[in-house]
Structures are given as C-alpha cells and as structure tokens.
C-alpha cells in the first residue's frame, strides 16, 4: 500500500516559515499586500478566493479585493489593473481566469506589471521561469508540485520525471522548475505515442491532463511517486484526479489525493510569492 501524501502539512509548513517574514515586513512599514481581482461569481473562483483569504490572514498578508460583474467592460478591468500596477502599497496580484468571452484575456494579462504577477500569467514572469533567473513568479500550481516533492524528501537530481500535460499553467512551467532541480524531464500530451510506456518509465509521475481517472494500472509501476494535479468531476459527480487513486495506492510508493493533495498547497505558494514580492519592494 503506497503512502498518501497530503497537501495540508506542506501548506502549513510553508505558511509557518512565512509568518516571521511577514511580521518583519510589517514592522518595517511594508505590510505585505495582495490584490485579488475577480470578474463574475464562478463558484470555483469564490471557493479559491476564500482559501486564499484564509491563508493570507494566517500568514500576515493583507488582501484587497476588486470584484467586477461579468458584464464589466475590458476597459474597466484594465483600469483596475492599472491602479494595482501604480499602487506601491500593493505587492502582488491574483487575477482569476478564464475571463468572460468578450475580453481579450492575453491583453488583460499582459497589462499586469510582471513584478506584481503572482501566478505566472504574464510573458515576463514565464520568461524568467524558463530562463531560471528567479526574477518572476511561476504559476502557483506548478510550484506547489515542487514544494510537495521537497517537503516529502524527494531529491529530484537525476530523477526521471514524466509530466502528462503541456499547458502554460501547469505542464510547461513545471517542466522548467523540474529541470532547474536537475531532473530528467519528459512532457507527454495527446500526441504522445506510447503514453502508458512513458508513464511506467517514470520515477516521479505528475498528471496534469484534466481527464478523470485517465491514468490507471497500465500507466503505473512499483516504487513510483505519483502527483495528481487534475481536478475533475467524474460521472457520479465526485471530485477526482487524473489518476485512479486505488490503482496508484496499490502500485506506487506514494500518491497525492484529490482533493487534499497538490491543490491544497497552491494558496501557500501564492502567499510565499506575495511575501517575496514585498521583500523585493522593501529592498531586502
């Protein structure tokens, strides 16, 4: 029976390390501050926002919320982002996506100052993830995977890591973060010829495809560490990952659950980005 790697202890350990840094910033007159921008009332955004608020409160981060109706114009949203860019007391911004269809999402994302982009949505931030300069901030979910592996003592140096999914939100930036950790990385996608074979060869298998239970016994091999990033609703209306949890528990050395795995770490990574952005603004 494989171990279950939960996200909560990882999130808690990360948050505990942030608290003294937030206190020091506040004492210096720079209270770390995050802006959350939400257009509309999508239930998943509301739920993530509640989690982010709670996490930031625990860490000692102030949150300013900017809510617009989904009928808002792109100009109205751009004007909110412009204010955030200009406001020195705001160190970072989280913008919920997807935006309503009448908006040009790329243009809106690019209008955010890269220094305040806490979730890797600007090309400036992503470029720094790819070049490894460390100036920008990777997407929180991608970094949450690496935090998870660190917390549970996995040294990635030389490890064969397979990531299923190549989106700009998870797969691609995650591959870069893993490369910086000296892993040997394979990215799989819908055109991959032998997905089960590629997955079985992995020492660390990370699923980020967004397909309920798509990886089963034929994709797994004994001793693997399996991280499941997927958040899907199955045919019974249950929240499940991309990996069959029962199959992974039978075969793998460790597996992250859904819910309660990688997803539970993302708000603490967001908080860590805000603290770092505030420290940079304070010249630390």
Where along the sequence are the contacts to ligand NDP (CB under 6 A)?
Answer: 141, 164-167, 169-171, 188-192, 195, 208-211, 214, 229-232, 262-263, 266
Spatial distance between the Cα atoms of 141 and 68, rounded to a whole number of angstroms:
25
> What is the biggest distance separating any 2 CA atoms in the chain, rounded to whole angstroms?
56
Nearer to ligand NDP, 85 or 167 (CB): 167
Spatial distance between the Cα atoms of 126 and 86, rounded to a whole number of angstroms:
22
Spatial distance between the Cα atoms of 125 and 123, rounded to a whole number of angstroms:
5
| Shortest Å, Cβ 164 to ligand NDP | 5
Q: Is the dihedral of CA 111, 210, 270, 181 positive or negative?
A: negative
Nearer to ligand NDP, 53 or 214 (CB): 214
| Shortest Å, Cβ 242 to ligand NDP | 6
| Shortest Å, Cβ 187 to ligand NDP | 8
DSSP sequence for 81-107 = HHHHHH-TT--EEEE-SSPPTTS-HHH
| Shortest Å, Cβ 89 to ligand NDP | 27
Give Cα 11 to chain centroid, integer Å: 12
């Amino acid at each position: 029976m494989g171990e279950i790697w939960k996200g909560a202890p990882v999130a808690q350990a990360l948050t505990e390390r942030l608290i003294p840094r937030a206190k020091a910033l506040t004492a210096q007159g720079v209270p770390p501050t995050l802006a959350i921008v939400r257009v509309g009332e999508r239930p998943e955004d509301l739920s993530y926002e509640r989690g982010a608020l709670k996490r930031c409160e625990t860490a000692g981060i102030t949150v300013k919320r900017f809510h617009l109706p989904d009928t808002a114009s792109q100009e109205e949203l751009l004007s909110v982002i412009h204010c955030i860019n200009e406001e020195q007391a705001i160190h970072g911004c989280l913008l919920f996506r997807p935006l309503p269809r009448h908006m040009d999402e790329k243009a809106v994302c690019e209008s955010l100052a890269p220094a305040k982009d806490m979730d890797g949505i600007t090309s400036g931030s992503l470029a720094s993830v790819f070049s490894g300069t460390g100036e920008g901030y990777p997407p929180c979910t991608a970094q949450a995977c690496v935090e998870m592996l660190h917390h549970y003592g996995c040294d990635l140096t030389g490890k064969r890591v397979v990531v299923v999914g190549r989106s700009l939100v998870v797969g691609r930036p995650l591959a870069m973060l893993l490369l910086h950790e000296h892993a040997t990385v394979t990215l799989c996608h819908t055109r991959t010829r032998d997905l089960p074979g590629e997955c079985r060869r992995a020492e660390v298998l990370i699923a980020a495809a967004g397909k309920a239970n798509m990886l089963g016994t034929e994709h797994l091999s004994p001793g693997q560490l399996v991280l499941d990033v997927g958040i899907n609703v199955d045919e019974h209306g249950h929240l499940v990952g991309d990996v069959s949890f029962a199959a992974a528990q039978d075969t793998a050395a460790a597996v992250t659950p859904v819910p309660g795995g990688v997803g539970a770490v993302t708000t603490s990574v967001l908080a860590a980005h805000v603290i770092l952005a505030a420290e940079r603004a304070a010249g630390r």
